[in-house]
A and B are shown apart, each in its own frame.
Chain A
Amino acid sequence: MSETRGLTLAEKVWNDHLVVKGEDGAPDLLYIDLHLVHEVTSPQAFDGLRQAGRPVRRPDLTIATEDHNTPTLGINKPIADLTSRTQIDTLRGNAKEFGVRLHSLGDVEQGIVHVVGPQLGLTMPGITVVCGDSHTSTHGAFGAMAFGIGTSEVEHVLATQTLPLKAFKTMAITVEGALRPGVTAKDIILAVIAKIGTGGGQGYVLEYRGSAIRSLSMEGRMTVCNMSIEAGARAGMVAPDQITYDYLEGRPHAPAGADWDDAVAYWNTLQTDDDAVFDAEVFLDADTLEPFVTWGTNPGQGVSLSENVPDPSTIIDANDRANAERALEYMALTANTPMKEIAVDAVFMGSCTNSRIEDLRAFASVIKGQKKADNVRVMVVPGSARVRIEAEAEGIDKIVEEFGAEWRFAGCSMCLGMNPDQLAPGERCASTSNRNFEGRQGKGGRTHLVSPLVAAATAIRGTLSSPWDLEQAPELATTDELATTAPKAV
């Protein structure tokens, strides 16, 4: 980094958290503003502290929730699976012993860790956020530097509230233009990953810029940043603006009074300087973008919904060709089949990518007054208990149930199937989650990643579809309408 040129958003946030600048190739020591904890990656971290006789340095910067293992039905009953129950009981014991705030199953603030942080107003611009979970990148939507860490790093942060880190490279992803109706944040990020590949972001912090990003709601920006990790990146960020501030103001942990004014004054300085230089740049045209859907077994294997399953024999790179062949075999798909002819067995509406109130509203706007296809099971899982309550207040639960879908309690659910919500072997699912890896949603399950709008239309028709394929195209709410009353918990 030379003295003379400006700085990127990522560099500004990094520099403002330097506790010790690493010399001679040693890593920098960075301060961590917010540490999110869940039951899967924390047990051994707490056990390590216990053995070394170390306390949690800053319980007031730490918050835990139960999400990966929690059931989405019968949440009052003991958890049947022993491993799941042990992990949750262990978190409860650790939270108590170390004085960490925990939102347990049944609590109004329980939910997927990446939904809970923003909803409480804890996630804010210009902070560092870590969690033992790769989709921590979600929080970058606020202009925070947010990334996933491993269990030994979780212990490190619990003990010291810092992390030794080597600086990341920076990549600008500029998306210019206006999205057509029915095209969403999910389609942007799936198209980005298809373009740069699942390793394209390796070693980088991505900064999403351009008019199409600026016009996204906070929910949409979170969807985009959430999947940065699927492009191999450490983190994704969007510079804060009025949309960010409007979302945050008044939330339980958002700054208030003079603190709010100080914060906004600082946040306004976080824009990437005009003369800053990114290590890499990528451009995407939003005007021509269509709903996007994956056909393979990694998030980079996607096409526009109006296209066909690709033909591996036309792929020049031998490695990519072999991967595509293997993926088609696992997915039981034939080359050149129109994507829209692919019939599904299940639709999963949920996960930290798309389970916020706005996502549920978008889904509901399409299915309202309709019936689901006979052979498709449809599961709708709000990202947090708070989102569930808000949706019920708006009648979304009724719309979902009248449609013939299941309205569930909050959690990660079928995103990874650590709880009983799983695909059976061979089942095909249109899923609003972020990973279509082999067996991710259940052994032998086949996943197509889609937006909430595509999930809804697919649930109606039984084949991968966009709302425009429906006999009666629904009146889609505008982004503004979807976002206006995002829930601000009391």
Chain B
Amino acid sequence: MSERPSTLFVIWVLVERDLRTLVKSPFILINRTIFFLIQLFVFAVLVSKLASSLGFNYFDFYSVGAVVSTITSIAFIIGEDLFEEEELGLLDYLLSLPFGHSLFVVGRALGGAVRGLIYVTPMMILVAYLDGYFSPAGIAGSLIVIFVLATGISGLSITLAMLIRNANRFDIIIALAELATVRVSAAIYPLAFMPKVLQPVATYSPVTSASDIVRAIFLSGYQSGVYETVILVLFVAVFFGLGSAFLFRKIEGGRFE
């Protein structure tokens, strides 16, 4: 007979499952890595030359934003996973395993964030190197920042997955949500160059906050403070809480029946 596993162990095993499936999907990994490298070494280099006349180093600015937008994109996958798990009946299996439903919810949300973090860590180190930043403590701090962001995005994705019951509709909404969170932010272009109507929204975007904090760590001439941190923490608190609550309610209430 088997022993009942501990809480931390269960969370780790749930996260491990997400990592195993990610590693087993090399096409996704290769695809996103190639996209990242092309964006960095072709797009950013090119635009940086165009913007050099303005005295603005776009490459440095974009390199951080590219990592932040990549982890945002990966963290959104968790919602699709939930739909797929339901479709394949995997959710029944997962819910029958010896841990509470609330632990399952936490494990899924953290799993989405952790696999994003593991995936972008080499990218973050590459960007730090390209930006001439070599402090391990600073790099570790920047990874914590994007992990926090990814946890909130996972929560947002789970919330949307729970609110939208149709998989096709979810695919469309999640694509739009990803587009909005990355494009209406200062991840890939400065706020000052954005249309005036979008600037207020982008200012309060958690993606902007995460990008600004990491830039302030890596690059000279950039600043961030309590304001960005508060936005980021609020975003995580709201959507991690909402996503967990919605998923928990769906599971407890008979799920996707």
Q: Do A and B come from one complex?
A: no
Interface residues of A (CB under 8 A from B): none
